Amino acid sequence: MQASDKQSQEFALFLVRLSGRQMKRSKPITAPAVMAGLFQWLNFTELVNHYPPDKLREFADAASKFV
């Protein structure tokens, strides 16, 4: 989070976006938001490593029936 290179900043912004938190323009990246996004990212990677793409599509189709 404290790294100033472009790739690190992009990844931190990506994690903040995954966190789903609304951020102030004056403070677009916070440690809690980055950690929440990292938790989401780790859950996602575990999910895609555990289930094949066809099964994930089945889950998405089933979920769309509830929405």
Q: What is the pLDDT of residues 28-63, one digit of tens each?
A: 899 999 999 999 999 999 999 999 999 999 999 999
Beta strand residue intervals within 1-67, DSSP E: none
Alpha-carbon gap, residue 64 to 8, rounded angstroms: 34
57 found inside a domain: yes
pLDDT at 12 over 80: yes
1 found inside a domain: no
- Number of structural domains in the chain: 1
Please tell me the predicted confidence (pLDDT) of residue 45: 96
Please tell me the predicted confidence (pLDDT) of residue 56: 95
Please tell me the predicted confidence (pLDDT) of residue 1: 67
58 found inside a domain: yes
pTM for the predicted model, two decimal places: 0.75
35, containing H or E segment: helix 31-50
